[in-house]
Amino acid sequence: MTQPSPSFFKAVLAIARKDLAAEFRSRELLSAMLVFSMLVILIFNFALELNVDIRRTVTAGVLWTTFAFAGTLGLNRSMAVEKDRGCMDGLLLAPVDRSVIFFGKAISNLVFMLVVEAIVIPLYAMLYNETRIFQLEFIGVLLLGSIGYIAVGTLLSAMSVQTRTRDVLLPILLFPVAVPVLLASVKASGAIVAGLPFKDYVTPLNLLIVYDVIFIAVSYMIFDFVVEE
């Protein structure tokens, strides 16, 4: 493995830019993720009867479940387009370190997820008059949780896309491994929405950071093994 150099970051950004350009022209993935998110929230609304009392305790859970589901949709699609037309082989032929592909894909996946969150959260706030989710701390937890989820999700989607069952397999592989991210995020953002002081949610926050660091490092190290032919 080569030492990261300026060209390493340039190559990562090139792959991310390629994905973003393709997406902002077709808008296939983002529109699917957004519509799906709204449908999930709609179902939660009636399934849980989201009135004021219930909302106070379940807002964080509803939002994170929505993002986790929408996230698998995006992860599946973003890897499938690479595989279907043989684009992955082209990327692998490029004279760059394999981890460049991982970081490039992870960044574009993260951007998609953040765009969805940036639209869904104001919508949720408007629908339920829930302004407590516009806090810097809440956004920070959202960012940390999304980073961890996407890091391990990008690695696993590169794997699941090469199996016979493909799309069906990703959530089954991803959710048990991503349980810590989702639970820690729900715990931390739930505490923020409830207006608890910082010391009440510093532990889940720390665990989120630990998870992010470990899983980014591990994904970086083992992505080679996932894409090699």
Partner 1 sequence: MQQKPILLTILDVLSIIGLGAATYFALVFAPTEAVMGNVQRVFYFHVGTAWVGLIGFVLAALAGIVYLITKDAKWDRFEVAAVEVSAMFFFITIVLGSIWARPAWNTWWTWDPRLTTAAVTELVYIAYFMLRAGIEDPEKRARFGAVYALLGGLSAPITFMVIRLFRTIHPVVVGNGNPEAQGGFDMTGSMLTAMFVALGAFTVFFINLMWHRIRLGALEEKVEQIKLKVSM
* Residue range at the interface with partner 1 (CB under 8 A); choices 39-47, 102-110, 135-143, 168-176: 168-176
We find the least distance from the C-beta atom of residue 69 to partner 1, in angstroms, to be 17
Task: Give the Cα separation of 44 and 66 in Å (integer).
Answer: 9
- Given 155, 192, 193, 216, the residue binding partner 1 (CB under 8 A): 155
Distance (Å) of CA 32 to CA 35, 148, 161, 183: 5, 22, 19, 25
Task: Give the Cα separation of 141 and 20 in Å (integer).
Answer: 24
92 is a site residue for partner 1 (CB under 8 A): no
We find the least distance from the C-beta atom of residue 212 to partner 1, in angstroms, to be 11
Residue 162 is encoded by which pair of tokens?
């090469």
Q: 119 vs 227, which CB is nearer to partner 1?
A: 227
Contact code string over 198-227 relative to partner 1, x by CB under 8 A: -----xx--x--xx--xx--x---x--xx-
* Residue range at the interface with partner 1 (CB under 8 A); choices 21-29, 33-41, 48-56, 164-172: 164-172
196 is a site residue for partner 1 (CB under 8 A): no
* Residue range at the interface with partner 1 (CB under 8 A); choices 62-70, 76-84, 129-137, 183-191: 183-191
Look-up: residue for tokens 């989201």? 50
- Given 88, 160, 189, 220, the residue binding partner 1 (CB under 8 A): 160
Contact 141, 192 (CB under 8 A): yes
180 is a site residue for partner 1 (CB under 8 A): yes
162 is a site residue for partner 1 (CB under 8 A): yes
Contact 18, 107 (CB under 8 A): no
Interface residue list for partner 1 (CB under 8 A): 152, 155-156, 159-160, 162-165, 169, 172-173, 175-180, 183-184, 187, 203-204, 207, 210-211, 214-215, 218, 222, 225-226, 228
